[in-house]
Amino acid sequence: MLTPKQHDLLQFIDQHMRRTGCAPSFEEMKEALDLKSKSGIHRLISALEERGFLRRYRHRARALEILRLPADAVPQSEASEVPTASRFAPNVIRGDFSARFTGAQTAVGVPAISLPLYGRIAAGQPIEALRAAHTDIEVPAMMVGSGEHYALEVVGDSMIEAGILDGDTAIIRKIDTAEAGQIVVALIDDNEVTLKRLRRRGNSIALEPANARYETRIVPAERVKVQGRLVALLRRY
């Protein structure tokens, strides 16, 4: 699932590499997407890496590799050199998941699985985890891989630059460890839970938002437990 900016950047990189044989510079990417700073490009590339569309080779200039393109990518023969936001739509699972998703159906012919839908998770200030009672949600089987999964309703806007919006339903793979840069469900002090990008800073954990209006929260590592990693999103329209 890609946001319009992520979609635009991926296609721009692909077009540039096809045309020149090398990846564009961060300055070229910034200008192509009309962003004010290169930090926005860094965040978009990290999100594309996390979703498996792009691979970045560390410590090498312009070292990017396209792993795959979204199904709705514009064919090379039809695309302009610089993509425009109006050409793309968010690549998310759309649908009417009404009545708290009870009995929700996926598209005809698409295999579905049932996941437990727990309470709400903050993409803003942490809130108490609500896991005592839950309902179930039907999701397309293609959204999850191996392992145990569950769903949480997103509350807040601190992850909007990673394409995670207030009201989205986050599909989480249950794990207790995570790599730096992954978006995780973090339990703090066995009481608060939040959805943030995880970084390690010495003996501390940095929980990074994807919204310039919010500050990174740094917590001693022993106070943080990883309870899962974000693998997909559902969105209601």
Question: What are the b/e assignments for 17-27, b being 16+ CB within 10 Å?
Answer: beeeeebbebe
Q: How far apart are CA 17 and CA 50, in angstroms?
A: 21
Structural contact between residues 48 and 54, judged by C-beta atoms closer than 8 angstroms: yes
Structure-token match 């990518």, residue found: 73
Half-sphere exposure of 168 (CA within 13 A, CB side): 25
Q: Apex CA 237: angle with CA 87 and CA 232, to 5°? A: 80
> pLDDT tens, 202-231?
899 999 998 888 899 999 999 999 999 998
Structural contact between residues 230 and 1, judged by C-beta atoms closer than 8 angstroms: no
> pLDDT tens, 73-111?
543 333 443 343 333 233 344 444 444 444 444 444 557
Q: At the topology level of CATH, where does 93-236 sit?
A: Umud Fragment, subunit A (2.10.109)
The model's pTM is 0.55
169: left (phi over 0), alpha (psi -120 to 50) or beta: beta
Compute the average pLDDT of residues 1-7: 83
> pLDDT tens, 37-60?
888 888 898 888 888 888 877 655
Half-sphere exposure of 44 (CA within 13 A, CB side): 22
Half-sphere exposure of 97 (CA within 13 A, CB side): 22
Structural contact between residues 65 and 54, judged by C-beta atoms closer than 8 angstroms: yes
The residues that are catalytic are 158, 196
| Predicted pLDDT at 68 | 83
CATH number of 4-87: 1.10.10.10
Taking Cα atoms as reference points, which of 113, 131, 126, 115 lies closest to residue 184? 126
Domain boundary assignment for the chain: 4-87, 93-236
> pLDDT tens, 111-163?
788 888 887 887 765 544 555 456 888 888 887 878 899 998 898 888 988 88
